[in-house]
Structure 1
Amino acid sequence: MGDGAAVRETAGPSSVMQKAFDLLDVFRNGRVLTLSEVARRAGLPKSTAYPVLAMLVRVGAVEHEGTGYRIAFRMMALGAASAARSPLEAVREATPGHHVQIDVKFCCRT
């Protein structure tokens, strides 16, 4: 934070946030998973997993595909941007006065 304000840590993450990240973690293999698979892998009942999964679909973190769900392109792009940032920062710092950029081309997404 630019104004020097400290970020206060709470006792723990909110229940909804924790469940959302628990659900996102199950998509690490990139497969399409059914609601039952998502809930089982996250260790949550389907009745709990469904509304959190629906929220993740609304915000574009997960996509509904056929009878299942998969991680959304938006999340993959965020991960790629995060991974690309560190090497670019190193190049920028090593080449003062020069412009540094990365182009990522995506093809054939329906």
Structure 2
Amino acid sequence: MELGVLGCQSENNWLQWVQEDASRAELPLAKSHQEETFPIGLTVDTSIQYTLPWGENQKLPPMPLVCIYSHEGLLCLFFAVNLLQLSADSLCSPPQLPSDLSGLSLFTNAVRR
């Protein structure tokens, strides 16, 4: 399965953008290498704060991370890279602490072996 991309050129003009084969967010084949895997979850993480290496000496500003979860339990991560408008405002911003931290003491970070 692959992820499609829609782009808006004007207020009511949406188009499906066709990407190159090497640039598509696709789920890999199943373990048997003969059957497709299917997405059961998808999210976009906009809390990324580091630059993305691009080419030999170039770095891109922070780009959103697309996370796709397959029916086989595989989590695939892809950067949503926009090279068309590098001067556009960034979608990424630092994560903020929740306003209510009262339940935080109920969690532990003990390592079980």
Relative to the length of structure 2, the TM-score reads 0.23
Greater share of residues in helix = 1
TM-score, normalised via structure 1 length: 0.24
> More strand per residue: 1 or 2?
2
